[in-house]
Amino acid sequence: MIVRFLTAIFFLVTPLIASDYSEKVDVLYNSLDPASLSELFAFYNLYPETPAGEKAYQKAWGLINLHRNIVVEPRKMQGFAFDIKPIIALVTRESYEDSVLLSEKELETIELLTSHLKNRQLKGFNNWSTDEIIAMPSDDVDLARTIFLFQFGKEDPLKVRSYEAYLDMMAIQILARLPKNYTELQALDAISSFIFHEMRYRFPPHSMWTEDVDLYTFLPSVLDSRHGVCLGVSILYLTLSQRIGLPLEIITPPGHIYLSYQKDGTEINIETTARGLNIPTEQYLGINNKTLKRHQIKNVVGLNFMNAAATAWHHCDYKLALSFYQKAAHFLPDYPILTMFTAYNHLLSGNLKEGKALLQKMKTHPVAESLYQDTIAEDYLLGNVNIVGIKAVFEEVNETRESILEKQALIQKTLSIYPKFREGVFHLAVTWLQLGRNKEAIEALKRYHALDPTNPTVEYYLSALSLQRWSYADSIKHLNFCKLIMKKHDHNPKLILSLEKDLRRSVPTHLL
């Protein structure tokens, strides 16, 4: 694209005359981004015999060598045939173009000029054995190599190395915009700017990712499409940060992931679904989660497989889902959420013995970050729901009213047989909220409260919805229930404080 762009600009200029050819080339050279390797190399590829082309060539190699201890200059290397075309192909490829599979010679070229990247110091970078990677400490794991190796296998090394070369050239471009002795904060800004503004990675439209979330999680798909869900773009960000040498925290609120830079009292969060926006940590804390789960690089590989399993589960391919969960377990040992989802898929597959054993295990391995634990396991073991009922609450809905009504019908059918199934009652309330029927949602939530008054999320929703309907006494009552639960856990989230303020502004003084 850059080559076509430069050529188009050149020929838009007044018709060429031999005497002013050099001047026109100089004008075009001066319009280049001086820190863009893709523009500089593409310009040289078009005008290699001109002084301006030579300046572009020297400028590009100056940027590459700025961060190298050993200078690389292809013209001075005997027996080394430098081909600029694969570099241009990698850094200018658009999202609609096919991925580039490089030859051995092309890979050797790129691997030479990127040999100084920080991930080369990781033991996992030179490892092609999945068993050895599973066994090694997290600090030794090269995230990109591990993900590509598990996806493509060591039998397809050119594909693995081609995608790694793509990441390497991204890292080289990021470094080209950094000074020689850059700080970690400068590196953070440079990576974010490159991913979200220069390359324009975006969260995919809802209709795209709900069907095949793994397409926007697995790194090759994210690289090819420039679309990714929170985990997919976070993985891309981490693979680049490993190459640049930027340490990042990996944090997972329920159903989400974000990255964070934390050092010497500085905390900068990176919300990959919002172009790297720095969202305060307290906004990730909900009613039911007092703390946030922190992960290591190695755990991210497991999260990757969990997302792939979610797609298989959504398509009712429980056997495939279980195979992904089994792979995830290598990287997420004793992870309660993984245990829970694996148990449900065993039950849905008809493996009742295995599923029940895992549900029993969950009793002694609760989710440490949650105030109120998942109730599906307990209700199933108590006989308060069957496998069909579990399937009903995990039924996916899209933006259509019909899909919400279909799920609601399944849940109501389950509750007609198992009226004490708490998660079923809660999801019934959610469907009413999705339909804009707050009155019916309140009735369902009160039904839950009668079964179990210790769920802080239910009490919060009852208070907030009651306030919307001017049922002040009910709103105050359920807020107090919620605050009592919060007090036991020494948790005081902003949502509660905000609801309290709304109550004080709205409720007549004599009712407070």
Q: Which residues pair with 249 in a beta bridge?
A: 260
Q: Which residues contact 258 (CB under 8 A, 6 or more apart)?
A: 230, 234, 251, 269, 270, 271, 272, 279, 284
CA distances to 153, 279, 317 from 324, rounded to whole Å, are 15, 31, 11
DSSP string covering 55-72: HHHHHHHHHHHTT-SS--
387-406: b or e for each residue (b if 16 or more CB lie within 10 Å)?
A: eebbbbbbbebeeeeeebee
Chain centroid to CA 241: 14
Q: Please, how many CA atoms are within 13 Å of residue 381, restricted to the half-sphere of its CB?
A: 17
Q: What is the pLDDT of residue 168?
A: 95
What is the percent of the chain with per-residue pLDDT over 70, rounded to a whole number? Answer: 88
CATH of 357-511, one of 1.25.40.10, 3.20.20.140, 3.40.50.2300, 3.40.50.12280: 1.25.40.10
Alpha carbons within 13 angstroms on the beta-carbon side of residue 65 total 11
The contacts of residue 134 (CB under 8 Å, 6+ apart) are 330, 331
The backbone torsions φ and ψ at residue 81, rounded to the nearest 5 degrees and listed phi first, read -95, 105
For the entire predicted model, the pTM comes to 0.90
pLDDT in tens, 137-178: 999 999 999 999 999 988 889 999 999 999 999 999 999 999
CA–CA distance, 145 with 61 (Å, rounded to integer) = 27
DSSP state letter for 15: P
| CA atoms of 332 and 303, how far apart (whole Å) | 8
Least Cα distance to 303 among 341, 348, 273 occurs for 341
**Residue 295 · residue 304 · CB < 8 Å:** no
- Nearest Cα residue to 333 out of 305, 367, 302, 375: 302
pLDDT digits (tens, 9 = 90+) for 241-277: 999 999 999 999 998 999 999 999 999 999 999 999 9
What are the pLDDT digits (tens) for 337-372?
Answer: 999 999 999 999 999 999 999 999 888 888 889 999
Instruction: Write down the mean pLDDT value for the chain.
Output: 89
Q: What is the pLDDT of residues 437-490, one digit of tens each?
A: 999 999 999 999 999 999 999 999 999 999 999 999 999 999 999 999 999 999
CA distance 432 to 429: 5
What average pLDDT score do residues 386-410 get? 93
Q: How much is the average pLDDT of 41-58?
A: 91
* Cα 389 → chain centroid: 30
Q: 204 vs 427, which has greater pLDDT?
A: 427
Residue-wise pLDDT for 107-140, tens only, equals 888 888 899 999 999 999 999 999 999 999 999 9
Please tell me the total number of residues recorded for the chain in this structure: 512
C-alpha Rg value of the chain to the nearest Å: 28
Q: H helices then E strands: how many in the chain?
A: 25, 4
- Three-state SS letters, 492-511: CCHHHHHHHHHHHHHCCHHH
- For the chain, give every domain's residue range: 2-174, 181-299, 357-511
**Buried/exposed 87-126: b ≥16 CB within 10 Å, e otherwise:** bbbbbbbeeeeeeeebeeebbebbbebbebbebeebebbe
Going by the DSSP 8-state scheme, the letter that residue 421 receives in this structure is: -
Q: Could you say which DSSP state residue 101 is in?
A: -
Helices marked H in 66-205 — which ranges? 85-92, 104-113, 130-135, 143-152, 157-176, 184-193
The tokens describing 242, both together, are: 């490993």
How buried is residue 129: exposed, middle or buried, by Cβ count under 10 Å (0-12/13-18/19+)?
Answer: exposed
Reported as a single tens digit per residue, the pLDDT across 301-333 is: 999 999 999 989 988 999 999 999 999 999 999
- The number of beta carbons lying within 10 Å of the beta carbon of residue 138 is 15
pLDDT at 103: 85
Instruction: Write down the pLDDT at residue 509.
Output: 63
